[in-house]
Each structure stands twice: as C-alpha cells, then as structure tokens.
Structure 1
Amino acid sequence: MGLHARIRHYFAGSACDVFINHRTVDTRRTVVRLLYDHLKQQGRKPFLDAENLKPGDRLLDTIEEAVRRCKVGVTVFSPRYCESYFCLHELSLLVKSKKRIVPIFYDVKPSQLEVIKNSAGILSCSQKDLQRFHLAIEEAKCIVGLPFDSSKGDWSDLVRKASDAVMSNLYVSA
C-alpha cells in the first residue's frame, strides 16, 4: 500500500470534521485543549496535532489529508502565530481548499496579523510561500471571528461560542 493510500486508510474510519490550527507555544495548554475536549464531548471529530499525529506519520502529508477531509477549520490566531511556517501553511491550505473557517483572535486583533518575514520559521520560505501566506492572512482578516483577551476573558464562554460557531458552520458546509 502506497503512502497516500495508507494516509487515506488512516482517515477512512476517523476522518476529522474540524481541523484546529494554532500556535502551540501560545495556545495548546489553554483554549485549544479546552475546545478540542469540548468538541469531542459533542460527538465531533476534531483534528489536533498533539492528539492525531503519531510517531512515524509524515507530518505534511497527514496534515494536508486532515485539511482536505475536514469540513470546518478553527484558526486560533495568537501573538506568535504568524511566526510559524506550519501555522501559515495550514491556514493557506484551509483557504485554498475553501473550507469554512472560524477565527479566534486570541490576544491579537485582526489588523495585527501579518507574515513575520524575519522570524526563524519564515526566514527560509520561498517567495511563493510568502505570497501564499500573505493571501491567506488577508483572507482570514475578512472573516468574522471571536475576539478573546486572555487577561479578562471567560474561558467557558469562549469555548461555548467557538463550539457553537463550529456547529453552525458544520451545518452550512454539509
């Protein structure tokens, strides 16, 4: 069985319906984990890198397949999000494949989002990747999202609102 056939087989019984895109250092121990658990409790199949990627998985192939098969993407924009090649790559895949996206603006405003060209994760990117990332960020800025200030916000309220937005977008994309 070839690589792509193995990846399709891996997802056949467990295709995700929600892809969670986030910057690990900013959000994994906070909103992302809470949202992932809440969506699972509601019977959804969220894809979260720390939960779904297994040793030996081909990172980009597995992520691309998860994005291709999902119905909705949740993108958690955070202060260091735009410094990550992987975050921007996943966002650009969601945009390119015309997935419904629920943005969460976690301690950041949409107007603050821009590709950080001099960050370690972006320095070696091709001009084509930089353009792809820039276009994805600009598209995401035009999507109504959920603002959240972690110093004042109510975590339960954010998770409920994000989950409600995911559910309503799942029904739209069905």
Structure 2
Amino acid sequence: MQRLPATLYRKIARSASCDVFINHRCIDTKRNVAGLLYDRLTKLGASSFLDSMNMKPGDKLFDHIDRGILRCKVGVAVFSPRYCESYFCLHELALLMESKKRVIPIFYDIKPSQLMVKDNGTCNAKELQRFRSALEEAKYTVGLTFDPVKGDWSKLLKDASEAVIMNLLEVEEEHKRKQKKY
C-alpha cells in the first residue's frame, strides 16, 4: 500500500485542514464509494474530509464544509443518480471549482451527459448559473466511471486513491515551483 512521503504529508498537514475533500450525495454513496474511499485514503496517510466523519453536532454546516473545501488540496466529486437534487452537493462542487482546486470526478452509476441542474424553485438565477458552470467544468474533467452492478470495487478504490495521491503530489510540486519564484 502506497503512503504519502512523510515530508510531503507534514507540509500538507500544516498548511491544510485536510488533503482531500470528498463531495458526494450521502443517500447514494456514503455507505459505499465515498465511505470506502475515505477509509482507503486514511490508510494511505492522506487526511480526508467526509461530512459524516468530520462533522459533529453543533458544527455550522456551511462554515465547516466551506472551510474544508478552501483548505483542501484536492477534491473528489462522486457523481451519482441523485447528486444534482442536492443543493449542498452543487454548492460544494461550485466552491471547489471556483477556488481552482483539482477535482477528480467519479461517475458512479451515472454518465456525465446525465448530470443536469434542475430548477426546482429553491435557487435564484445566480446560484443556478453557478451550479451549472461548475457541473459543466466537472463533466469535461477526466475522471473515473463505475457501474456498481458490473464494476470491480477493488479496482475503483485502487484507481481513485492512486489518482488522489498523484494529484496531491502534483499540487505539492506546483506549490514548490511557486515558492521558488518568490
């Protein structure tokens, strides 16, 4: 099992509240792909933010989640059949994209072309446009696809965790290059 190099992990841990923010629709993915990925990344030495694991009663939802997103290095967006029904999922995705985080999409039991923001009357026009823009950007980002009926769970977890680790390493290298410029 691959682990983050100790020096890289210490640098990331000092500068961020978490390495990875896992954005997902709880009702579809908490007990499978999101929860399993969280466990695997933890075993690999990456600190991850998963709402059910990192929040406690009394936490202010948006404050805690927004802080986790803004302080993370990489985002994982687990798209699922009911993902776009959730204001919270779309808000998190938009914030990840707006803050220029690297986002690894996982299309779980859904094709990118099936993802659409629907106007259900709960969002204003500005929010709808924000969500649609973020979703379009995510749809055109190379990601992983998974069919829960036919797919190999161990391969998905291996591929997803390797993608996260590689992106964490690339983010750290970019950070080092920027530091050298100054």
Q: TM-score, normalised by structure 2?
A: 0.85
Structure 2: 5+ residue runs without aligned partners?
1-12, 173-182
1:12, distance to aligned residue in structure 2 (A):
7.0
Distance 1:61 1:15 in 2: 13
Distance 1:64 1:14 in 2: 13
Q: Equivalent of 1:101, from 100, 103, 110?
A: 103
RMSD over aligned Cα, in angstroms? 1.4
Aligned to 2:41: 39
Aligned partner of 1:168: which letter? M
Residue 49 in structure 1 maps to residue 51 in structure 2: yes
1:126, distance to aligned residue in structure 2 (A):
1.1
Aligned to 2:60: 58
Aligned to 1:86: 88
Deviating 4+ runs (over 6 angstroms)? 11-14
Matches within 5 A, 1:13-32: 15-32=17-34
Maintained 8 Å contact 2:74/2:102: yes
Maintained 8 Å contact 2:16/2:73: no
Q: TM-score, normalised by structure 1?
A: 0.89
1:116, distance to aligned residue in structure 2 (A):
2.0
Residue 163 in structure 1 maps to residue 161 in structure 2: yes
Distance 2:106 2:16 in 1: 25
Maintained 8 Å contact 2:105/2:142: yes
Distance 1:13 1:138 in 2: 30
Aligned to 1:136: 134
CA deviations 1:94-127 (Å, max 9, x no partner) are 0000000010000111111110223xxxx31111
Task: Count matched residues.
Answer: 160
Aligned partner of 2:171: which letter? S
Aligned to 1:146: 144
